[in-house]
Amino acid sequence: MTVRFGVVGCGAIGQEHIRRITNTLSGGKIVAVNDINADNAKSVVQKLGLDAKVYENGHDLIHAADVDAVLVTCWGPAHKEFVLSAVQAGKYVFCEKPLATTADDCLEIVAAEMKQGKHLVQVGFMRRFDKGYVALKEAISAGKIGTPLMLHAAHRNPTVDARYSTDMAINDTMIHEIDVLHWLLDDEYVSAQVVYPRKTSKAAPHLADPQIVLVETKKGVRIDVEIFVNCAYGYDIKCEVVGETGVAYLPEPATVQLRSEAALARPILMDWKDRFIEAYDIELQAFINAVSTGSRLTGPSSWDGYAAALTADVCVKAQSRPGEILPITLKECPEFYK
């Protein structure tokens, strides 16, 4: 069965996903698009030569009889409205991160999904599908470094636009680490603390950059995450797990090593679109495969969306109380999501 997609939000990542479903992946087709800015939706249809209907209203798109699954790629604050509407209509939905901007809104989605009695939601935390993180998890689970004790991570963007605010370092950027690191360690977070190093002169006056978030897990692993979104030199993602008998590193992306002009060099990617291109393909292909065969979705669930949102809420609170350690208390995970 071909999965017929309706897309809400045709901006940067919406267009990326539309392109990959249309040109790269198998088993999916874009049949409907919507954007609050109708010109965006129309121009995507034209630009990509889609045979898709443009809807003025996202809810009409969700309820269209020929839409099997909804791709929510509009801006974060509108995610809840469309995910909830899709779930209530009994439709599958792939939602870009964050699932919703507050933990309570995520719980509303969780409740609606459990009421349907079926797993309908996958959240776009694509790093769980990245081959590097998968290999790292396998190495840790196989005991190659013994019991994990510490984890050092960095999330560096070359630059951000003027609208990027201090809290976005957590709920837009570090939210990827929040999701992937506890999955990697098979653990849960119990506390968070934020400290601020010297500020880069490249950041806008309103933005604290870089930041360091220190998190502790239930098993006692200490995690430090550096978020540096005006690092200037590239899009660089680091993860190093220190165990009792060894250290495991997230592999670097495969770029060509050059010996030239008296230097040994390897290029560094500049854009998230390129850094995780394969992971985006794999996560969406997994979604399409599950929907078309009616099997259970394998990607991050709405519960994972809730866990990330709650953790992000605490980290954002910790930003305004530098140095203070704040508790992270998740609700008990329902059997439905285990």
Residues of this chain that interact with ligand ISE (CB under 6 A) are 157, 172-173, 176, 229, 272
Question: Measured from the CB of residue 191, what is the shortest distance to ligand NAD in angstroms?
Answer: 25
- What does the alpha-carbon distance between residue 270 and residue 279 come to, in Å, rounded to a whole number? 17
122 binds, among ligand NAD, ligand ISE, none (CB under 5 to 8 A by kind): none
Alpha helices, H only, the chain: 12-19, 38-48, 58-63, 79-88, 103-116, 131-141, 168, 175-185, 272-275, 277-293, 302-319
Q: Going edge to edge, which strands form the sheet with 69-72?
A: 53-55, 28-34, 3-8, 69-72, 92-95, 121-123
Residue 236, token pair as written in the block: 């660089």
CB-neighbour burial class of residue 294 (10 A; exposed 0-12, middle 13-18, buried 19+): exposed
Question: Measured from the CB of residue 176, what is the shortest distance to ligand ISE in angstroms?
Answer: 6
Question: Measured from the CB of residue 174, what is the shortest distance to ligand ISE in angstroms?
Answer: 8
Stretch that binds ligand NAD, among 6-14, 48-56, 149-157, 295-303 (CB under 6 A): 6-14
* Residue ranges in 134-173 that form contacts with ligand NAD under rule CB under 6 A: 172
* Residue ranges in 93-112 that form contacts with ligand NAD under rule CB under 6 A: 96-97
Q: What are phi and psi of 128, to 5 degrees?
A: -65, -15
141 and 186 Cβ atoms separated by less than 8 Å: yes
Question: Measured from the CB of residue 324, what is the shortest distance to ligand NAD in angstroms?
Answer: 27
Under rule CB under 6 A, how many of the chain's residues touch ligand NAD?
A: 24
DSSP summary character for residue 39: H
Stretch that binds ligand NAD, among 8-16, 43-51, 107-115, 207-215 (CB under 6 A): 8-16
Counting contacts by CB under 6 A, is residue 28 touching ligand NAD?
Answer: no
Question: Measured from the CB of residue 202, what is the shortest distance to ligand ISE in angstroms?
Answer: 15
Stretch that binds ligand NAD, among 7-15, 59-67, 149-157, 190-198 (CB under 6 A): 7-15
Which lies closer to ligand NAD via its Cβ, residue 9 or residue 132?
9
Which lies closer to ligand NAD via its Cβ, residue 148 or residue 305?
305
DSSP summary character for residue 245: S
Counting contacts by CB under 6 A, is residue 73 touching ligand NAD?
Answer: yes
CB-neighbour burial class of residue 258 (10 A; exposed 0-12, middle 13-18, buried 19+): exposed
Closest CA to 27 of 48, 4, 45, 7: 4
Position of minimal CB gap to ligand NAD: 11
Per-residue burial over 12-25, b if 16 or more Cβ lie within 10 Å, else e, is ebbbbbbbbbbeeb
Counting contacts by CB under 6 A, is residue 6 touching ligand NAD?
Answer: no
Using CB under 6 A, list all residues that contact ligand NAD: 8-14, 34-37, 40, 58, 73-76, 78, 96-97, 124, 126, 172, 272
